[in-house]
Amino acid sequence: MPAARRLRAVFVALAVASGTFACAHRPAAEPGTGASAAQMPSARARVLGEIRDLLAEGRRDEALTAVRRARATWPDDPLLAALERGIAVPGAHDEPHTKTASPSSPPEKRAAAEPLRVVADPPWSRRIVEPVPGLPLVGRPRLSKIEERRNRITDVRAWFERHGFDWPKVLVSQDGRGLEAPHVPTSAEEIPSFVAAERFGLPLAWALHDGAYVLALYERPGHLPPVLDPEADRPLYPQVLVVHGRDGSTVAALDFTAFRLSPATRVGDSTLAQQDLIWAHYDGHAVYVAHGHWTYAAESGGQTGYVTAVAPQTGQILWRSAPRVANARNFAIFGPYLVTGYGFTGEPDRLFVLRKLDGEVMAERRIRSAPEYIFVRPVGDGAQAPERARLFVRAYDRDYVFDLLRGPSADAP
């Protein structure tokens, strides 16, 4: 690897690793109340902060020594390994890691130059920091059930084929040797050549065809031992989402590692309650991501199933939904709304319509089975700004069809 690219890998790895345990964002525990595993301060974060400062001051040899000491404590950490490799190359520190590729650069060079944005530790309750810029303020949509019927549970492919739906997500097998065979119809059989097999020291987990964009998730595979923070005694699996344009350009690279473990998670439940980045969407205004785990909500103290809107250029959280609104395999887009679903054994099964502007729940419907797949099909000629749509929901043992009518705009009489 050329020295310049290796330096970028150094700083990216450091950003990922230090963002993983960004304890400065976590409130300290009240005296005498104790702290959960996820709230405990991290020695690793302090060490990485020192390394970052040494690199910023040009003290490369001292930084390399600090990295090697850290690796003695965390020998299985792939990000520290990438950091060590990058610093160890003579001359690699001579090119600034923030250099931006020119518009005429090949896609792989533009992608390599895109800085990684560490998304700050998320709130674990409903919060609005600011509305998503450029989106309209709309009222409540009308959600009316048209049809409900039982299914045979295993006839998922038949449901896709009956309605002509196409699954846009391509999964990479955990051993990295090929693509997983899809169990639903999909035309997205190939990952575009500009989507790298590995970024930031992490292997590709999936690629999602999202209209004019391709979204790629990189994370530590679940079959490998996790990265451990010995002071907090918790496992962790780093996670980065990259948004590409169809020309191979990189719109954003966002580190969501801090989203993977709720502070309410008990130490003994931390492996089960690691939260996956289930689905994502970019609309030119914000990146919307759904995080959750497919086990009982109690494993994370009820703090699971969120949708979060993030500013792509800064990594700032714009808003976060209430918990337990999204653990279906996808969410759907209906104009200025996101349609999500949540359910699990012994928990309420529901559909939600969230306003993209601020994450507010604008409509909610109880159903009889946990929602799995959600699709929206516009009705009439308004494909670009639909006023009405059919909402198709594949639940565990039932199929639903709803009529979905857009709410009025704020300036409407």
Domains of the chain: 3-99 (no CATH), 117-135+165-367 (2.40.128.630)
Q: Are 390 and 408 in contact (CB under 8 A)?
A: no
> Distance (Å, rounded) from C-alpha 16 to C-alpha 201?
10
Q: What is the pLDDT of residue 4?
A: 41
> Distance (Å, rounded) from C-alpha 335 to C-alpha 54?
48
Number of CB atoms found within 10 A of residue 358's CB = 18
Q: Are 165 and 203 in contact (CB under 8 A)?
A: no
Residue type, 362: M
Q: What is the pLDDT of residue 35?
A: 38
Number of CB atoms found within 10 A of residue 63's CB = 24
Tell me the DSSP string of 174-234.
TTSSSBPPPSS--S--S--TTS-SEETTEEEEEEEEETTEEEEEEE--TTSPPEEETTTTE
Q: Which residues contact 57 (CB under 8 A, 6 or more apart)?
A: none
| Closest of 37, 45, 35 to residue 70, by C-alpha | 45
Q: What is the pLDDT of residue 141?
A: 97
Q: Are 38 and 263 in contact (CB under 8 A)?
A: yes
SS3 295: coil
| Closest of 249, 248, 223, 250 to residue 237, by C-alpha | 223
Q: What is the pLDDT of residue 115?
A: 82
Q: What is the pLDDT of residue 285?
A: 97
CA distances in angstroms from 33 to 29, 43, 397, listed in the order given: 7, 21, 44
Q: What is the pLDDT of residue 234?
A: 59
| Closest of 308, 309, 315, 307 to residue 286, by C-alpha | 309
Q: Which residues contact 181 (CB under 8 A, 6 or more apart)?
A: none
> Distance (Å, rounded) from C-alpha 362 to C-alpha 266?
33
Measured in degrees and rounded to the nearest 5, phi and psi for residue 269 equal -105, 5
Q: Are 328 and 372 in contact (CB under 8 A)?
A: yes
Number of CB atoms found within 10 A of residue 373's CB = 20
Q: What is the pLDDT of residue 39?
A: 37
Number of CB atoms found within 10 A of residue 48's CB = 27
SS3 96: coil
SS3 5: helix
Task: Tell me the pLDDT of the chain (413 aa) as tens digits.
Answer: 444 444 444 454 454 444 433 332 333 333 333 333 333 335 766 777 777 777 767 777 777 888 888 888 877 766 676 677 666 644 333 322 222 233 333 444 444 446 899 998 899 999 999 999 999 999 999 999 999 999 999 999 999 999 999 999 988 876 555 566 567 888 766 789 999 999 988 999 999 999 999 999 999 876 676 776 555 555 677 899 999 999 999 999 999 988 988 989 876 666 678 899 999 999 999 999 999 998 999 999 999 999 999 999 999 999 999 999 999 999 999 999 999 999 999 999 999 999 999 999 999 999 999 999 999 999 976 556 679 999 999 999 999 999 999 999 875 44
CA distances in angstroms from 398 to 33, 126, 310, 389, 394, listed in the order given: 45, 30, 33, 20, 7
Handedness of CA 53, 57, 58, 62 (dihedral sign): negative
Measured in degrees and rounded to the nearest 5, phi and psi for residue 86 equal -70, -45
Chain-centre distance for alpha carbon 61: 35
Number of CB atoms found within 10 A of residue 103's CB = 8
Q: What is the pLDDT of residue 8?
A: 42
Q: What is the pLDDT of residue 189?
A: 66
Please identify which residue in the block is written with the tokens 């994502």: 280
Q: What is the pLDDT of residue 367?
A: 98
Q: Which residues contact 103 (CB under 8 A, 6 or more apart)?
A: none
